A and B are shown apart, each in its own frame.
Chain A
């Protein structure tokens, strides 16, 4: 049984038992058969010889031996085929293990990168806050208007820090199904206006023209106002982040003709997103490599936008882009119609 030293190292455990049952038994059977054949043939031959019949018994014995050899040869072939199959399975297992290790490595790399990015994103506004506070304490702001400017920087950077913390917390809450959604009739135009006010200081700082086009008539969607605001702020801050100084960002809110849906579009003249990255921009932690060098980010903002619009509100988000020309991010939500009021 030395040749059947099973299970081989990679098959120890449950898999090994299965292989032993399915493959080893037929081989043992054929060896038994061969040995049986040989003995039967030889036995017949001996019996005939004892019975003094000269030619027939040798023929029978020869047939018996030949069938025995044939069976042994077949068993050997089967063994070789089996050894080959075993090797194939070993290789497949090794490959699967290597792939799993690579996937684990990739996940670890993404986690590291994420921790590093979150750390960077938290430290940057904190750095401004601490530096400006120290300057104020040390009396280094020469006049009232500079002091006022410093207070505004501190306020804006504290808000930026707050938004990042909200993004991180909300994405975990939504994913864990722990988020409490407070639906109420909301005019998307109001939410967009509020988000534009929040982002305006950043746009001014980069001399980016911020255009807003809202519908003449008000409309209503059933939504969690705070979440919708967060989605709008994320889309707008991204647009400002990836648009070079002196560029333009515009926000369009429009209801469709039969007032069933509202479309919110954020259009920038930014760096754009390469086509290979476009399908993945809403994925958690995904960062377009080319844009990573332009501005840091956590890869959470757009993922949260998709969660808020699609998972929580049953709407739709998508992006269109041309490298070097700009991107358009769009969100579509259902409006409250007379039908939907009847349903409620």
Chain B
């Protein structure tokens, strides 16, 4: 399997670090951003295979990030996994239209997150 690249976006550096380590240990290439704008720029340059983003972030929320990725041709087919600490339930139309394939609520288990990543990327565990 060719090495897949995952973009992880969270303004909480602890979460960014732990998710990155879990995914690197599982053999993924990981790039990180600490806010939505940085993530947009990075996604345009690197065209990752998957985006994992927090919902509540400064300047640009996770949902807005996913919507913006959809609008740009270069990044419109990148699937996303959303992490949220507020127990938000997004409307199905919002998630479908923004390419959000799964929602995980914080606290989350890194093991479950990895399983979800594999599922979304179609990788057999």
Contacts and interface: CB of A to CB of B under 8 A. Distances in A.
The reply to whether chain A is a binding partner of chain B is yes
B15 A131 contact: yes
B111 A138 contact: yes
Interface residues of B, number: 22
A120 B56 contact: yes
Contacts of B111: 134, 138
Interface in B11-40: 12-15, 18-19, 21-22, 25
Contact of B15 (A116, A127, A141, A293): A127
A211 interface: no
A123 B106 contact: yes
A205 interface: yes
A104 interface: no
A129 B13 CA distance: 13
Given A134-B110, A140-B25, A127 B85 contact: yes
Given A131-B18, A140-B21, A293 B108 contact: no
A127 B111 CA distance: 13
B59 interface: yes
Contacts of B13: 205
Contacts of A138: 110-111
Given A127-B106, A128-B14, A135 B85 contact: no
A127 B108 contact: yes
Nearest to A130: B107
Interface residues on A, range: 20 to 34
A164 B110 CA distance: 25
A215 interface: no
Counting chain A CB atoms within 10 Å of each CB, the highest count among B13, B18, B22 belongs to B18
Counting chain B CB atoms within 10 Å of each CB, the highest count among A135, A141, A153 belongs to A135
A293 B58 contact: yes
A interface, by DSSP: helix, strand, loop or mixed? helix
Contacts of B12: 124, 127-128
A205 B106 CA distance: 21
Contacts of A140: 21-22, 25, 110
Contacts of A153: 14
A172 interface: no
Contacts of A343: none
A293 B59 contact: yes
Given A157-B14, A295-B58, 17 more contacts: A116-B86, A119-B86, A119-B87, A120-B56, A123-B85, A123-B107, A124-B85, A126-B107, A127-B15, A128-B18, A130-B108, A130-B109, A131-B110, A134-B110, A138-B111, A153-B14, A205-B13
Question: Which 5 residue pairs spanning A and B have beta carbons closest together?
Answer: A127-B106, A127-B107, A123-B85, A130-B107, A128-B14
Interface of B: 12-15, 18-19, 21-22, 25, 56, 58-59, 85-87, 105-111
Interface of A: 116, 119-120, 123-124, 126-132, 134-135, 138, 140-141, 153, 157, 205, 293-296
